[in-house]
Amino acid sequence: MNPLPTVATHDGTRGVGAALPMYIGEAIRRATGEVFSMMLGERVEPGEMTVHKAAQPGQPDPESYHPGVVAVLGMTGEWAGSGQLSCAPEFACRIASWMLGDEYAVVDEDVLDAVAEVANMIVGNVKNMLEDRLGPMALSTPTIVFGPEFATRIAGNPDRVMVPFRCGGERMAVQVVLAPKHTAGGEGRHGHGHAHGLVLSEADTVSR
């Protein structure tokens, strides 16, 4: 695996600083492409990376709404935050079909487990790429959420780095939120539940 490019130091944190979002975005693109190619035999096309502050309660944020399946993993160390994969139920079924070699028409336990495993590999690879600059980080087990539509909100006010992907006419997104541990936002609750610093609301959801 080729190393990620070195970025300019602006804050003394191992060569990251202002260029960190671009560094995270490149890690997301590489990790996602490698997992889909090597583990699923499929090619994904990355879209344009976006970086913005997480919306706070009462602020509209269309990108926080998800169509059906989200897998979330927490990361903690000198830097802390979360990584997530979100996709429509139809694409979740395709991921399970590619991984398990069977056909799935509806989201069931096998589909949720497959999406959680793919998210675990992608976020784990992103974490590994970032550790040279951000220091060692521990990775939680995946939490998977499935519902008709729900919103996520990041506690605190960190940058959210999101890269959309297309694969066979379907869309998905991979998002990473990281901040130095002394400034990372704490967890909060609003609505139906929360996982790893993400607050879920406005839908009946099933989480595992």
Which class does domain 17-207 fall in?
alpha beta
- Tell whether pTM > 0.85: no
Q: How far apart are CA 86 and CA 132, in angstroms?
A: 27
pLDDT 10s per residue in the chain (208 long)?
Answer: 445 444 333 344 444 556 889 999 999 999 999 999 999 999 999 999 999 775 544 554 545 545 689 999 999 999 999 999 999 999 999 999 999 999 999 999 999 999 999 999 999 999 999 999 899 999 999 999 887 765 655 666 678 899 999 998 899 999 999 988 875 544 333 333 333 344 333 333 444 5
Calpha distance 142→139 (Å, rounded): 9
Domain segments of the chain: what residues?
A: 17-207
CA atoms within 13 A on the CB side of 177: 28
How many other C-beta atoms can be found within 10 angstroms of the C-beta atom of residue 41?
9
Residue of 146, 154, 206, 147 whose CA lies nearest to 176: 154
